[in-house]
Structure 1
């Protein structure tokens, strides 16, 4: 025996309207979010107090004389 799946026309129309509504509402919210919260690309700033918790790098023992590197 086979199964028959019946989908009503109002259900199809409701799903289409719901899909279009979610699409346009999401597009509106996305554009509004871009205007109010612009993205900034770059290195993030460290949290307050974190910069002083790292030890200073050791001093360099390389000679600064260029002639000695030849």
Structure 2
């Protein structure tokens, strides 16, 4: 029984220490990335000078009763 405790206890402590280390390292890295690379959601815009933007779509006008 003593052999199980001698082997398991250091392994458990090592796993806990590794987990806390990864957690805090990832947290610090994530906070650094927020300032350097902001997340942008939506359609990406093309680089400037690649092609002109398309004209706006035509607006629909209600039909008139002039030719009735």
TM superposition score category, shorter chain reference? 0.5 to 0.7
Q: How many residues align?
A: 55
Are residue 28 (structure 1) and residue 25 (structure 2) matched? no
Structure 1 segments (4+ residues) deviating >6 Å: none
In the alignment, what sits opposite 2:43? 43
In the alignment, what sits opposite 1:9? 9
Determine the C-alpha separation between the residues in 2 that align with 1:64 and 1:35: 48
Q: Which runs of 5+ in 1 are unaligned?
A: 1-5
Cα deviation for residue 66 of structure 1 reads 4.1
Cα deviation for residue 13 of structure 1 reads 0.2
Cα deviation for residue 18 of structure 1 reads 0.2
Question: What is the alpha-carbon root mean square deviation over aligned residues?
Answer: 2.9
